């Protein structure tokens, strides 16, 4: 039983190019990968373009921007809560 194989971005790009030139079946046989894998790689390349095949844990530009914005919203909410509590404290003690 083989473990899960990992393929580099360059390998996937070259495999898709080969499949487009020679056909998915011929490329699949010569590379030793399943045709469905080639189709998945082609679909990812068409939908994601240059950001396809980022690897595990690597985010797209939009995903990273979304993450940063969520962190900023959380920080701003915490600051607002602190200011709310501080204003209530001073309003109570300055009367």
Residue 45 has pLDDT above 90, yes or no: no
Residue 62 has pLDDT above 90, yes or no: no
Q: Reduced to 3 DSSP states, what percent helix, strand and coil does the chain have, rounded to the nearest 5?
A: 75, 0, 25
Question: Between 57 and 27, where is the model more confident?
Answer: 27
Residue 54 has pLDDT above 60, yes or no: yes
Dist. CA 49–CA 53, nearest whole Å:
9
User: Percentage of the chain with pLDDT > 70?
Assistant: 95
Q: Please compute the mean of the pLDDT values over residues 59-82 and round it to a whole number.
A: 92
Q: Please compute the mean of the pLDDT values over residues 77-81 and round it to a whole number.
A: 97
């Amino acid at each position: 039983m083989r473990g899960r194989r990992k393929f580099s971005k360059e390998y996937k790009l070259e495999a898709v190019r080969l499949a487009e030139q020679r056909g998915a079946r011929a490329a699949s046989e010569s590379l030793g990968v399943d045709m469905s894998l080639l189709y998945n790689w082609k679909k990812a390349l068409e939908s994601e373009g240059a950001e396809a095949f980022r690897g595990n844990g690597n985010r797209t530009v939009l995903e990273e921007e979304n993450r940063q914005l969520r962190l900023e919203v959380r920080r701003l909410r915490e600051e607002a809560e602190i200011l709310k509590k501080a204003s209530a404290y001073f309003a109570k003690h300055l009367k």
